[in-house]
Protein backbone atom coordinates (compact mmCIF):
# COMPACT_ATOMS: atom_id res chain seq x y z
CA UNK A 1 0.00 0.00 0.00
CA UNK A 2 1.40 3.36 -0.94
CA UNK A 3 2.15 6.02 1.67
CA UNK A 4 -0.52 8.36 0.27
CA UNK A 5 -3.23 5.71 0.65
CA UNK A 6 -1.98 4.80 4.14
CA UNK A 7 -2.31 8.46 5.11
CA UNK A 8 -5.89 8.46 3.78
CA UNK A 9 -6.72 5.46 6.00
CA UNK A 10 -5.22 7.29 8.98
CA UNK A 11 -7.17 10.44 8.15
CA UNK A 12 -10.40 8.44 7.88
CA UNK A 13 -9.91 7.07 11.40
CA UNK A 14 -8.55 10.26 12.98
CA UNK A 15 -10.59 13.07 11.41
CA UNK A 16 -13.62 11.94 9.44
CA UNK A 17 -14.68 15.47 8.52
CA UNK A 18 -11.26 16.23 7.04
CA UNK A 19 -11.31 12.88 5.23
CA UNK A 20 -14.70 13.65 3.61
CA UNK A 21 -13.53 17.06 2.43
CA UNK A 22 -10.36 15.55 1.01
CA UNK A 23 -12.27 12.86 -0.86
CA UNK A 24 -14.70 15.44 -2.30
CA UNK A 25 -11.77 17.58 -3.44
CA UNK A 26 -10.08 14.59 -5.08
CA UNK A 27 -13.32 13.65 -6.86
CA UNK A 28 -13.87 17.19 -8.12
CA UNK A 29 -10.31 17.48 -9.39
CA UNK A 30 -10.46 14.08 -11.11
CA UNK A 31 -7.57 12.68 -9.08
CA UNK A 32 -9.27 9.31 -8.78
CA UNK A 33 -6.07 7.35 -8.21
CA UNK A 34 -5.72 9.04 -4.79
CA UNK A 35 -9.24 8.31 -3.54
CA UNK A 36 -9.75 6.02 -0.55
CA UNK A 37 -12.05 3.71 -2.52
CA UNK A 38 -12.70 1.17 0.23
CA UNK A 39 -13.91 3.69 2.78
CA UNK A 40 -15.66 5.84 0.20
CA UNK A 41 -17.70 2.85 -1.00
CA UNK A 42 -18.63 2.03 2.61
CA UNK A 43 -19.76 5.60 3.24
CA UNK A 44 -21.84 5.80 0.06
CA UNK A 45 -23.52 2.51 0.98
CA UNK A 46 -24.11 3.80 4.51
CA UNK A 47 -25.78 6.93 3.13
CA UNK A 48 -28.23 4.76 1.19
CA UNK A 49 -28.96 2.68 4.27
CA UNK A 50 -29.67 5.79 6.31
CA UNK A 51 -32.34 6.82 3.78
CA UNK A 52 -33.95 3.40 4.18
CA UNK A 53 -33.80 3.70 8.00
CA UNK A 54 -35.37 7.16 7.84
CA UNK A 55 -38.30 5.75 5.84
CA UNK A 56 -38.68 2.88 8.32
CA UNK A 57 -38.56 5.22 11.32
CA UNK A 58 -41.16 7.65 9.96
CA UNK A 59 -43.51 4.81 9.03
CA UNK A 60 -43.09 3.22 12.48
CA UNK A 61 -43.98 6.52 14.20
CA UNK A 62 -47.01 6.78 11.94
CA UNK A 63 -48.10 3.25 12.87
CA UNK A 64 -47.62 3.95 16.59
CA UNK A 65 -49.97 6.91 16.38
CA UNK A 66 -52.51 5.19 14.13
CA UNK A 67 -52.65 2.31 16.61
CA UNK A 68 -53.05 4.70 19.53
CA UNK A 69 -55.81 6.46 17.58
CA UNK A 70 -57.59 3.15 16.96
CA UNK A 71 -57.14 1.52 20.36
CA UNK A 72 -57.58 4.54 22.62
CA UNK A 73 -60.34 6.63 21.05
CA UNK A 74 -61.17 8.39 24.33
CA UNK A 75 -57.61 9.77 24.47
CA UNK A 76 -57.41 11.09 20.91
CA UNK A 77 -55.77 14.49 20.78
CA UNK A 78 -54.76 17.24 18.40
CA UNK A 79 -51.18 16.23 19.14
CA UNK A 80 -51.75 12.70 17.84
CA UNK A 81 -53.53 14.10 14.79
CA UNK A 82 -50.67 16.51 14.13
CA UNK A 83 -48.10 13.71 14.43
CA UNK A 84 -50.03 11.52 12.00
CA UNK A 85 -50.32 14.39 9.49
CA UNK A 86 -46.64 15.29 9.89
CA UNK A 87 -45.40 11.73 9.41
CA UNK A 88 -47.54 11.30 6.29
CA UNK A 89 -46.08 14.49 4.84
CA UNK A 90 -42.52 13.53 5.82
CA UNK A 91 -42.95 10.09 4.22
CA UNK A 92 -44.27 11.63 1.00
CA UNK A 93 -41.35 14.06 0.87
CA UNK A 94 -38.87 11.29 1.65
CA UNK A 95 -40.24 9.03 -1.08
CA UNK A 96 -40.26 11.91 -3.55
CA UNK A 97 -36.54 12.41 -2.90
CA UNK A 98 -35.83 8.65 -2.85
CA UNK A 99 -38.28 7.06 -5.32
CA UNK A 100 -36.44 3.73 -5.42
CA UNK A 101 -37.58 3.17 -1.82
CA UNK A 102 -41.10 2.61 -3.19
CA UNK A 103 -40.00 -0.88 -4.20
CA UNK A 104 -39.24 -1.52 -0.52
CA UNK A 105 -42.71 -0.57 0.75
CA UNK A 106 -43.98 -4.14 1.43
CA UNK A 107 -41.00 -5.17 3.58
CA UNK A 108 -40.76 -1.75 5.22
CA UNK A 109 -44.48 -1.86 6.10
CA UNK A 110 -44.01 -5.19 7.82
CA UNK A 111 -41.01 -4.04 9.86
CA UNK A 112 -42.49 -0.62 10.62
CA UNK A 113 -45.78 -2.11 11.81
CA UNK A 114 -43.89 -4.36 14.25
CA UNK A 115 -41.97 -1.32 15.52
CA UNK A 116 -45.22 0.64 15.66
CA UNK A 117 -46.70 -2.00 17.94
CA UNK A 118 -43.71 -1.65 20.28
CA UNK A 119 -44.27 2.11 20.36
CA UNK A 120 -48.00 1.72 20.97
CA UNK A 121 -47.38 -0.75 23.81
CA UNK A 122 -44.91 1.65 25.38
CA UNK A 123 -47.15 4.71 25.00
CA UNK A 124 -50.54 3.17 25.80
CA UNK A 125 -49.75 0.57 28.44
CA UNK A 126 -51.80 -1.95 26.47
CA UNK A 127 -50.53 -5.51 26.14
CA UNK A 128 -48.77 -6.44 22.91
CA UNK A 129 -51.45 -9.09 22.39
CA UNK A 130 -54.06 -6.29 22.10
CA UNK A 131 -52.78 -5.52 18.60
CA UNK A 132 -53.12 -7.54 15.41
CA UNK A 133 -49.92 -9.38 14.56
CA UNK A 134 -50.02 -8.32 10.91
CA UNK A 135 -50.76 -4.86 9.60
CA UNK A 136 -54.48 -4.45 8.88
CA UNK A 137 -53.96 -1.60 6.41
CA UNK A 138 -52.27 -1.20 3.06
CA UNK A 139 -49.86 1.61 2.30
CA UNK A 140 -52.43 3.62 0.36
CA UNK A 141 -54.76 3.71 3.39
CA UNK A 142 -52.00 4.58 5.82
CA UNK A 143 -50.95 7.49 3.61
CA UNK A 144 -54.49 8.70 2.86
CA UNK A 145 -55.11 11.98 4.69
CA UNK A 146 -58.76 11.04 5.17
CA UNK A 147 -57.97 7.64 6.76
CA UNK A 148 -58.44 7.56 10.54
CA UNK A 149 -58.80 4.03 11.94
CA UNK A 150 -61.80 3.37 14.20
Radius of gyration in angstroms for the set of CA atoms belonging to the chain, rounded to a whole number: 21
Same domain, 69 and 113: yes
Per-residue pLDDT at 75:
96
Question: Tens digits of per-residue pLDDT, 48-59?
Answer: 789 999 999 999
Same domain, 64 and 9: no
C-alpha–C-alpha distance, residues 20 and 23, integer Å: 5
Instruction: Enter the pTM of the model.
Output: 0.81
Task: Provide the number of structural domains found in the chain.
Answer: 2
Question: Domain span at residue 1?
Answer: 1-35
Give the residue, 85 or 2, on which the prediction is more confident: 85
In a domain, 114, yes or no: yes
Per-residue pLDDT at 150:
87
Amino acid sequence: MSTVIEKEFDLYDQDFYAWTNKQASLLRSGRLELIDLEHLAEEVESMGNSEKREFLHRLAVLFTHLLKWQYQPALRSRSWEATIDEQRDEIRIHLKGNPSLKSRIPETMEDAYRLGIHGAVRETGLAKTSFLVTCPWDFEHVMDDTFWPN
